[in-house]
Amino acid sequence: MTQLGEAVARFHKLIESDPFKNLEWALALRDRMIAGNLTSAGRPICPFLRPHFISRRRYAALVKASEALLSAMDRIKQMALANPALLNRMELLPAEKMLASIDPGYPFLTVTSLLDAHLNSGPLRFVNYDADTAPGVAFGAALDELFFNCPPVKQFRRQYKLSRVGGTKHLVSSVLQAYKLYGGKQKPRVGVLEFRQAFQASEASEYLLLCELFRKEGCVAEIVSPDQIEYRNGVLRQGDFVIDLVFRRVKVQEFLLRFDLSHPLVRAYQDRAVCVVNSFRSELAHKRAIFDLLTDETITSGFPAAERRAIRDHVPWTRMVSESKAKYQGRTVDLTDFILKNREKLVLKPNDETSEEHAYQGWLLDNLGWERALRLALRRPYVVQERVEPVREVFPVLFYGELQMREVDVDVHPLAFLGKVQGCASWLSEPVSGGFSSIAGLAPTFILEGNN
């Protein structure tokens, strides 16, 4: 058994022994999450009873690969903005193209971003990229503090050295750096943009925490809604609150489903009357087609060796679905025929992760179901991607007041600010056939340094 496996087994044994098996500590932990606004849809964001442990060696490899890949993606996005043919391959809506053409006032295409990684003892693989701020940033530091000092983890730390990674300071400092380059001369008044759902009675707790982060750095910050902001006389405001910087958590496609390009936020952005982080230009990263461009060697052949190696070693082969020829492992194939004949090792995914379209895992379908999925993917923007095996671990879960051991999928999200990885979050979900899991959430992520 590896040292990591041994540590996990010892932690599980610890929480099933006295004085922890009565779960008073777990119930107290749950209550502290609720009291600290660490909730989503009214439930604690972490139903799990142990942190996710990563070895120092694996974390260092994750950071190195992530930063090389982020640099390559930035290069791809710059090329796409300068080359209409490449931009067309990303299948943006006309309004998305228009927004991407607007200079945000600072040079970074993404200020905050994350990768979705499968991290285990085998190959490290990246399956998604998101120019967004994960809930792991807003929630992560508070979760880390709660777990690091809860009774069983404190006892566990007598034998194993744990280190926390990341923190919230990198988020705020990167946003303020972008604002300074945009031309801001003083601390900005920050509007954290939130879509309020029709049934939602109050602000989501994640947005409240984001506001607190900015306030701690001396900024005035409020939650603002696209429905309530207005733009007059060169000023963007919500009521009496003047907004210098919009911290955008609303994806462009979601925005365009409800508003058009005459919206006050878009007009203020065009006039350079407000700084938007991440900019609308960063929406290029939300298209899975970026993995098509990354794995196309005719595009990346001139990239630095470290970036090409990161792509080759860590990114699954991906192509936009079309009736065309494609390169696969050095040979030219008819793409639709190749997809049909290789169902077991392929997945079809919508180009935009915010789409209501479904992903289709070939190994879970029969030939007829796979053929139907391919016909749909040919009509709408879809990518085909090589299968990446999920990483599964057993975690203790607090389930209706009882401790249960559940096998869950583990996705690790390296969190990057201005292209540098500053910590990571872990998202755990119980694998279910329908895609919805009632047991899912964040887990604090600690580096296991080894025995003391």
| pLDDT given at position 198 | 46
Query: What predicted TM-score, i.e. pTM, was given to this entire model?
Result: 0.91
β-sheet bridge partners, residue 221: 190
| pLDDT given at position 251 | 83
| CA dihedral (339, 340, 342, 343) positive or negative | positive
3-class secondary-structure state, position 378 = helix
Stretches in the chain below the pLDDT threshold 50: 198-202, 451-452
Cα separation, 257 vs 259, in Å, equals: 6
| pLDDT given at position 97 | 93
Q: At what angle do helices 169-182 and 205-216 cross, to 10 degrees?
A: 70
3-state secondary structure the chain: CCHHHHHHHHHHHHHCCCCCCCCHHHHHHHHHHHHCCCEECCEECCCECCCEEEEHHHHHHHHHHHHHHHHHHHHHHHHHHHCHHHHHHCCCCHHHHHHHCCCCCCCCCCCEEEEEEECCCCCCEEEEEECCCCHHHHHHHHHHHHHHCCHHHHHHCCCEEEEECCCCHHHHHHHHHHHHHHCCCCCCEEEEECCCCCCCCCCCHHHHHHHHHHHHCCCEEEEECCCCCEEECCEEEECCEECCEEEECCCHHHHHHHCCCCCHHHHHHHCCCCEEECCHHHHHHHECHHHHHHCCHHHHCCCCHHHHHHHHHHCCCEEECCCCEEEECCEEEEHHHHHHHCHHHEEEEECECCCCCCCEEHHHCCHHHHHHHHHHHHHCCEEEEECCCCCEEEEEEEECCEEEEEEEEEEEEEEEECCEEEEEEEEEECCCCCCCCCCEEEECEEEEEEEC
Q: Which residue has the tokens 């996710």?
A: 52
| pLDDT given at position 135 | 58
| pLDDT given at position 197 | 56
| pLDDT given at position 199 | 44
